[in-house]
Amino acid sequence: MTTTIPVRLEERSYDVLVGPGVRNSLPEVVRRLGAQRAVVVSARPPAWVPDTGVETLLLPARDGEHDKRLSTVEELCGEFARFGLTRSDVVVSCGGGTTTDVVGLAAALYHRGVAVVHLPTSLLAQVDASVGGKTAVNLPAGKNLVGAYWQPSAVLCDTDYLTTLPRRELLNGLGEIARCHFIGAPGLRGLPLPEQIAASVTLKAGIVAQDERDTGPRHLLNYGHTLGHALEIATDFALRHGEAVAIGTVFAGRLAGALGRIDQSGVDEHRAVVRHYGLPAALPADVDADVLVRQMRRDKKAIAGLAFVLAGPRGAELVRDVPAEVVTDVLARMPRDRLENLVGATEAAAT
């Protein structure tokens, strides 16, 4: 079954298709765009790349943060030019979120913008990275520091791609699905994965339609992310993003409870949802709380002081100037576990 989710952004509107086999819609998408040529940049085997229906250059790529950099954008644009790609043609990305990000940025810059279609192959890329038009690459000074808003012309989330995904990459995406429970999609537990993906994309599409450039409601998508980002850095990325966000989600629940925004059952629901997905809910044993607080002060939502997206009587919202003592106290009360137990959380959840 295919679900079609519209992302409504006036002349930049497009559809996200979710379901088994949706990659085979690519020739129809390319035909509708009127492209004569396509460049497909793929981190997956050539057999995974569907026919485009037009003259095509297939460029192999590698997923991963290492290649998500400006020199890759330059190399890709050079290949586009040598192939003779024009601004009325199309670029297609096929890979994880690192690939959709770097190819998206190349498409945004080539000829000041050429159409791009994403074929995300990781769960995280399907539920998050490929939808919403943010593209970026890393600099040595930090992640995602150079980028552009460039909406794709279509996103094809083929759930058949996910069958080869390693367990931890699945968990990585489930972390983003779990946080949807607290920002407007509370009924996803127990649904088949394609339905969870479609619901998460629908939620994101609605938020992006209200706030394409991240000046307001798009903050909601950062539920669990303030501590999540700090944990990724503090563990030197030993935790995958979705695992760190899961721990951050449990923390956000406890912090909202400590601030009197939700009651104990609301706090407990955070742990229950995260554990339902087999995700970790405790802090790594040897991470220093002061290091986490220092890192959280650098969060892009924090203009001054500490800022979090927190549940409350009006639903989730951005809360600025949260007192450091409360944050420190809630961190001190969080359960702790050894990192190797946390990343094996799936097995523990089954028992």
Ligand X SMILES: NC(=O)c1ccc[n+]([C@@H]2O[C@H](COP(=O)([O-])OP(=O)(O)OC[C@H]3O[C@@H](n4cnc5c(N)ncnc54)[C@H](O)[C@@H]3O)[C@@H](O)[C@H]2O)c1
**Binding residue for ligand X, selected from 169, 212, 232, 243, defined by CB under 6 A:** 169
Task: Tell me, residue by residue from 49 to 78, as one string, x for binding to ligand X by CB under 6 A and - for no binding.
Answer: --------------xxx--x----------
In angstroms, give the least distance from the CB of 132 to ligand X. 5
Cβ distance to ligand X smaller for residue 14 or 262: 14
In the list 161, 182, 223, 308, the residue contacting ligand X (rule: CB under 6 A) is: 161
Find out whether 249 and 270 touch, Cβ atoms under 8 Å: yes
Of 54, 146, 165, 193, the one binding ligand X by CB under 6 A: 165
Q: Taking the complex as a whole, how short is the minimal distance between the CB of residue 3 and ligand X, in angstroms? A: 19
Q: How far is the CB of 85 from ligand X (least distance, A)?
A: 22
Interatomic CA distance for residues 343 and 346, integer angstroms? 8
Residue 237: partners with Cβ closer than 8 Å, 6 or more residues away: none
Report d(CA 297, CA 322) in Å as an integer. 11
322 by DSSP, 3-state: which? Answer: strand
In the bound state with ligand X, the residue whose beta carbon lies nearer, of 25 and 135, is 135
CA angle 259, 264, 269 (to 5 degrees): 110
State the nearest-atom distance from the C-beta of 259 to ligand X, in Å: 27
Window 80 to 99, contacts with ligand X (CB under 6 A): 95-99
How far, in Å, are 30, 51, 156 from residue 23 at the CA level? 12, 9, 6
Task: Collapse the DSSP code of 337 into the 3-class scheme (helix H, G, I; strand E, B; otherwise coil) and give the result.
Answer: strand
CB of residue 124 to ligand X, shortest distance in Å: 4
Q: Which is nearer to ligand X, 142 or 323 (CB)?
A: 142
> How many C-beta neighbours within 10 Å does residue 216 have?
11
Least spacing, CB of residue 128 vs ligand X, in Å? 4
- In this structure, what token pair is assigned to residue 120? 């995300």
Name the residue number minimizing CB distance to ligand X: 96
Among 25, 72, 172, 200, binds ligand X (CB under 6 A): 172
Residue of 88, 90, 94, 62 whose CA lies nearest to 75: 62
Least CB distance from residue 48 to ligand X, whole Å? 8
Tell the burial category of 84 from Cβ atoms under 10 Å away from its Cβ (0-12, 13-18, 19+).
exposed
Q: Residue 244 half-sphere exposure, CB side, CA atoms within 13 Å?
A: 20
In angstroms, the CA 69 to CA 169 distance is 22
Distance of CA 313 to the CA centre of its chain: 27
Q: Does 164 bind ligand X (CB under 6 A)?
A: yes
Using the rule CB under 6 A, is 200 a contact of ligand X?
no
Token couple for 209: 């339609």
Site string for ligand X, 288-327 (x = CB under 6 A): ----------------------------------------
Query: Which residue in 144, 295, 328, 346 binds ligand X (CB under 6 A)?
Result: 144
Minimum separation from the CB atom of position 164 to ligand X (A): 4
Rounded Cα gap, residues 43 and 65, in angstroms: 13
Stretch that binds ligand X, among 1-9, 16-24, 108-116, 164-172 (CB under 6 A): 164-172
Site residues for ligand X, 102-141, by CB under 6 A, read: 121-122, 124-125, 128-129, 132, 134
In the block, tokens 């050079």 appear at 78
Query: Using CA of residue 121, residue 123, residue 127, residue 130, what is the dihedral sign?
Result: negative
Q: Site mask, ligand X, residues 10-49, x = CB under 6 A?
A: ----------------------------------------
Beta strands in 3-49 (DSSP E): 3-7, 14-19, 37-42
The site for ligand X (CB under 6 A) is made up of 63-65, 68, 95-99, 101, 121-122, 124-125, 128-129, 132, 134, 144, 161, 164-165, 169, 172
